[in-house]
Structure 1
């Protein structure tokens, strides 16, 4: 069985990748592209999973 944390992380990785591709199409500024990829694909699910783990 796949844990809820893994499902959350996978969803954010997919969302981050899609937003990164959209950002590539919209801007040539690389730091913005990487900020979207890392922020949505890595940092957001990490923070969300940590907060939900602290609650229960």
Structure 2
């Protein structure tokens, strides 16, 4: 009986990018006062990039 991993590779990618996105948001907040850049860092790095990476990985590996 094979056990499923606790965290899938997609979840690990998402968590890593969420951490990087929060760090980018905090860094942008420290150095600029631009709300648009803050939101771009948070959503772009934390949500859009992991979605793209996971989709590319899913399409390359036809399991």
Normalising by structure 2, we get a TM-score of: 0.87
Residues 1:44 and 2:49 are matched in the alignment: yes
Structure with more of its chain in helix, by fraction: 1
Q: Take 2:49 and 2:10, find their aligned partners in 1: how far apart are those partners?
A: 12
Unmatched tracts of structure 1, length 5 or more? none
SS in 1 for 2:33: coil
* RMSD of aligned alpha carbons: 0.4
Normalising by structure 1, we get a TM-score of: 0.97
Instruction: Give the aligned length.
Output: 56
Unmatched tracts of structure 2, length 5 or more? 1-5
Q: 2:20 aligns with which of 15, 24, 28?
A: 15
